[in-house]
Amino acid sequence: MDIKKLRDEALKELLGAKNLEELEKLEIKYLGRKGVLTDVLKQLKEMTAEMRGKIGAAANQLKHELGSTFERRKKEIKAALDNKKEWVDVSAPGHKLIRGHLNPRTLVLRKVEEIFLSLGFSVIDSTEMESDYYNFQALNFPKDHPARDMQDTFYLTDELLMRTQTSPNQVRFMEHHNPPLRVIVPGKVFRRDASDATHESQFYQVEGLMVDKHISIGNFKAVIEEFFKRLFGKEVKMRLRPSYFPFTEPSFEPDISCTFCEGKGCRVCKGTGWLEMAGAGMVHPFVFKSAGYSPYEWQGFAFGFGLDRLVMMKYRINDMRLLNFGDLRFLKQF
């Protein structure tokens, strides 16, 4: 019975154990009820008294030594595991944060504001709830005016409503500011329209107003052509079609050459080569009077774009409703 050899083997295996499972197996192998060392101690009975004393002492000593070595190794392995958990590799690449981004409507609005700011316009905030007076009466829509029918309105009370256009801000702004002035007023407007690919009950307009002495349709054309050129990043042709709005005289609707087919005619422009973009006109003397300006002294033009329409044109989106849904498959494309 070579206790020394047994000791060397056991310690070698024990110190080589890499984890707690290996260590446990070894513990059973050497110190378990049917383990190697237990076996040795059982054999003592069959030995002579002299051998029993000698080997028995050595075997018991080894049993203690292995026992304490097992305990020590267990602690060491556990400590190593704990350290591993807290260890941070500062040189490893970080987890990428998933960032959202702006709705295409916001992207276009920012571009619109940037262009008009560079042309000397200010951007004005406004309210979505409006009075009948500013939304209609001050703009030359008396109570029974048939043009009110074109703007099916959400009334909150007899006098309060959700604005059907951003135009009430013409009079609101002029009441508190002296000319000359140039402003745009972007914002949400509301109409009782059924929802389809090109209509929503809530949509965005960008109102524009420029007032000065000697303002003509020529000024309007210059500003708007420059605006479209910068927004779409290419030359566009413009034409003015006569139209009617109670608060402008004369009134017109600017069309621009189709940005899809360069004016040749396509599905988007319904073969005409032109796209309707806005309502516009020279500010009606009635509106100047509402604001307390003298129509003999001041002139100006006003316009209102559908912002959603600009977004659809710029990004070639064929359904306006997509702008209002939070569908990530759509929104992630911009």
User: 187 forms bridges with which residues in the sheet?
Assistant: 205
CB-CB contact of 294 with 300 (8 Å): no
262 sits near Zn ion (criterion: CB under 5 A): no
Rounded to the nearest whole angstrom, what is the least distance from the CB of residue 270 to Zn ion in the complex? Answer: 8
Report the residue count for the chain.
Answer: 334
Q: What is the DSSP string of 29-84?
A: HHHSTTSHHHHHHHHGGGS-HHHHHHHHHHHHHHHHHHHHHHHHHHHHHHHHHHHH
Rounded to the nearest whole angstrom, what is the least distance from the CB of residue 275 to Zn ion in the complex? Answer: 7
> Given the rule CB under 5 A, which of 164-172, 189-197, 269-277, 308-316 is the region that contacts Zn ion?
269-277
Nearest residue (CB) to Zn ion, 217 versus 268: 268
311 sits near Zn ion (criterion: CB under 5 A): no
232 sits near Zn ion (criterion: CB under 5 A): no
Contacts of 98 (CB under 8 A, 6+ apart): none
Interior angle at CA 71, CA 66 and CA 74, nearest 5: 120
In angstroms, the CA 56 to CA 35 distance is: 16
> Given the rule CB under 5 A, which of 3-11, 107-115, 266-274, 279-287 is the region that contacts Zn ion?
266-274
In angstroms, the CA 173 to CA 83 distance is: 67
312 sits near Zn ion (criterion: CB under 5 A): no
> Given the rule CB under 5 A, which of 67-75, 174-182, 256-264, 289-297 is the region that contacts Zn ion?
256-264
Q: Where are the beta strands (DSSP E) in the chain?
A: 122-123, 129-131, 160-162, 181-190, 202-212, 238-243, 248-257, 274-276, 278-283, 299-306
Nearest residue (CB) to Zn ion, 77 versus 266: 266
Chosen residue from 261, 285, 286, 330 binding Zn ion by CB under 5 A: 261
Rounded to the nearest whole angstrom, what is the least distance from the CB of residue 273 to Zn ion in the complex? Answer: 6
Rounded to the nearest whole angstrom, what is the least distance from the CB of residue 195 to Zn ion in the complex? Answer: 25
269 sits near Zn ion (criterion: CB under 5 A): yes
State phi, psi for 64 to the nearest 5 degrees: -65, -45
Q: For Zn ion, how many residues bind (rule: CB under 5 A)?
A: 6
Chosen residue from 266, 295, 324, 331 binding Zn ion by CB under 5 A: 266
Nearest residue (CB) to Zn ion, 208 versus 254: 254
258 sits near Zn ion (criterion: CB under 5 A): yes
Residue type, 284: H
Contacts of 301 (CB under 8 A, 6+ apart): 208, 209, 210, 215, 217, 219, 220, 248, 280, 281, 282, 283
260 sits near Zn ion (criterion: CB under 5 A): yes
47 sits near Zn ion (criterion: CB under 5 A): no
> Given the rule CB under 5 A, which of 38-46, 171-179, 265-273, 298-306 is the region that contacts Zn ion?
265-273
CB-CB contact of 237 with 256 (8 Å): yes
Nearest residue (CB) to Zn ion, 257 versus 290: 257
User: 259 forms bridges with which residues in the sheet?
Assistant: none
Rounded to the nearest whole angstrom, what is the least distance from the CB of residue 262 to Zn ion in the complex? Answer: 8
> Of all residues in this chain, which one has the CB nearest to Zn ion in the complex?
258
Positions in the binding site for Zn ion (CB under 5 A)? 258, 260-261, 266, 268-269
